A and B are shown apart, each in its own frame.
Chain A
Amino acid sequence: MRPTAVILSLASDYGCQVQISNFPEILEMLSTFDLGYWQFVSSGDMPDAYEVALIEGAVTTDEHVELLEKVRATASCVIALGACAATGGIPGLAIAGPVRGQLKEVYGSGEKKVGAGARKPAPISDYITVDFTIPGCPIDPAELSRVLQRAIRALVDTPQRQSMCGECKIAENMCFWLAGTPCLGMIARSGCNATCVSRGRPCTACRGIAQDANIESAYAFAAQNKCDADQFESLIKIYNAANEQATQKAVTSKKTAQEVVS
């Protein structure tokens, strides 16, 4: 019997679901599942039982939290799909808050109605246990395929821990910093083969912060290269505002702690 999978969405622009539909090989991969629900293309209801849940989008409302809890109680495997689900992504930019004030600014008097149950944006792993993460904005279809195969066979996925500059060198790109343009490759989670830099755009760390990233050292390097801490932090926050370890506050407090020790 084929396992049942559902694809659902929280706060996002559905870009990763569009990405899935763009690649025939992913659709082929998905055909090894009984696709019980796909928010982007189906109008039916979610089935009561399913094994795999692919969740796109960041958590921004009470309703999202309820849904997540229900999904986690049902699915044996939960996969975070794309930057918004994995790191809070673009919706995460609103994390600076206060949420109510932001809603008022955008929706004026309609704020109460539109913003009912609004929460500070967060990656789904802030609320439930996530088994696999497919990072990126949008996702890399080959990575989705690989992770799904591993998920079906209950294999562990071991994402790369290195930051991205190594891959970027293998792609034989010149470093943006040499030309004075800030780039987040040195702290970004690798695995994309430096796809943006290879196309002439600096890395925005849409795949999140690498497990091995040396945040403190990166801030220091940026500062030496005419990108002060505020500017560097604002670049990081585009996709990683919810990652408190990547902010200057984390770096400064770490420094202070070290000074206290020494």
Chain B
Amino acid sequence: MLKGSVMVTFPFDMKGSYMYFRILEKDQVSTFIEGLAHVYEVVAPVMRGGGYSFEQVRDGSEVELDYPLTIIPPKKYFVRPKECLFRYDSHSGALDETDHEVSPRVLFGVHACDINAILMTDKIFLGDYVDPYYKARRENTLIVGVSCMPIPTCMCNAWGTGEVSQGCDLFLTDLGDRYFVTCQSFEGAHILDTFAKTHEASAEDKQALEDHIREFSQAFREPVDTTQLQLLFDAKYNDPMWETIGDPCLSCGACSAVCPTCYCFDVVDELDADGVAGCRIRCWDSCLDSQFAEVAGGHDFRPTRASRVRYRFYHKFWAYPSRYGKMLCVGCGRCDVACKVDINPRRIVEALREGESK
């Protein structure tokens, strides 16, 4: 792809990361997107049926960069909700992986929380056991981030996931009539220079960027205190709070479907009509499903709704951080919007803190 083909040289800062700032006027965004669409599959937020979703776009005017939240996060472009991993023929033993879709793609207009979520799922799929399907897509995807303003369900301020120091190629900060563009990679700078008409950032633009960052951080509701969560979790593992919060769970799996950091999947075989050939399918799974922790013989490790809800947060607030040092939540608030019975991270954290003596 474009790797190694960049001829531009950048000034480096003391830490060794490049600093390349440009201004992109808003009336130039469509041209930028349409230019990219000649070379890449461009995926951007669009309005569909009253909600926003990431979809492939060719027409820049369709793109809604000033959007509150998409229903499904960009994870669907790294692990598809349902995908055929390979086709097989049980008579000949032949495997066919040629169907594997890997097209160069630009995810355009991703919020900071979602970029941070991708960095978290990277740890899983590109860690000890590299997932070739995820890896192929990840390596072929450029990410253009965009700034946002919090809606009431947002809580990235609690996790520090409202900003990105890495994880995207370009980041666009909305300054009203223009975007302040921060290049975070050579590829990012390359696509910007090739497809967008930009100009230098003035001292005034840099001031406006600082103003935006301050305005963003002040726009949140009272942040929840997320310190020492693992200790609180241990202390309250058998607390009745889990029944209070978890018993009403509708076991619909909406929370895990919309969660940018929920990555559990199931693998099943689907046979063709002839019963000889078939497809090995991977699909998103949910730990809220009573089947999730059921094993051969019918024993279920988490037979109650409360135990399944607790498990979900146990994974996010205890297990993942104990291994990777970060909470497995970016505070995007999608689960808060999707859950009909108010099961969300903010409420869990508040309940964990209740009665705490400091």
Contacts and interface: CB of A to CB of B under 8 A. Distances in A.
Contact of B49 (A32, A173, A213): A173
Nearest to A26: B273
B-side interface mostly:
loop
A59 B257 CA distance: 38
Interface in B35-58: 48-51, 53
Given A149-B273, A214-B249, A217-B249, A162 B340 contact: no
Contacts of B248: 214, 217, 220
A152 B273 CA distance: 11
Report, as a range, how many residues of chain A touch the other chain. Answer: 35 or more
A210 B251 contact: yes
Interface string A162-173: 111111111011
A214 B49 contact: no
A167 B288 CA distance: 13
B289 A165 contact: no
Interface in B234-249: 247-249
Interface of A: 25, 28-29, 32, 145-146, 149, 152-153, 158, 160-170, 172-175, 177, 179, 185-187, 200, 210-214, 217-218, 220-221
Interface of B: 48-51, 53, 70-72, 81, 247-254, 256-258, 270-271, 273-275, 284, 286, 288-291, 305, 338, 340-341
Contacts of A169: 71-72, 254, 257-258, 338
Contact of B338 (A25, A163, A165, A167): A165
Contacts of B250: 163, 165, 186-187, 213-214, 217-218, 221
A108 B141 CA distance: 70
B187 to A, nearest CB: 28
A29 B273 contact: yes
A163 B247 CA distance: 15
Contacts of A32: 273-275
Contacts of B286: 162, 166
Given A169-B71, A170-B257, A221 B252 contact: no
A221 B341 contact: yes
Contacts of A213: 250-251
A135 to B, nearest CB: 17
Name which of A163, A166, A173, A177 has the most chain B CB atoms within 10 A of its CB: A166
Contacts of A29: 273
A2 B239 CA distance: 58
A249 to B, nearest CB: 20
Given A29-B273, A32-B273, A174-B50, A168 B254 contact: yes
The 6 nearest A-B residue pairs measured at CB? A166-B253, A165-B252, A212-B251, A165-B254, A217-B248, A163-B252
A54 B254 CA distance: 33
Contact of B71 (A153, A174, A210): A174
Contact of A172 (B53, B252, B274): B53
B251 A163 contact: yes
Contact of A186 (B51, B274, B290, B340): B340
A213 B253 CA distance: 11
Contacts of B247: 217
Given A163-B251, A177-B340, 15 more contacts: A29-B273, A149-B271, A161-B289, A166-B253, A166-B254, A166-B256, A167-B257, A170-B257, A172-B51, A173-B51, A174-B50, A174-B71, A186-B340, A212-B290, A217-B249
A220 B247 CA distance: 12
Given A213-B251, A217-B248, A172 B71 contact: yes
Name which of A32, A169, A210 has the most chain B CB atoms within 10 A of its CB: A169
A162 B288 CA distance: 8
B284 A174 contact: no
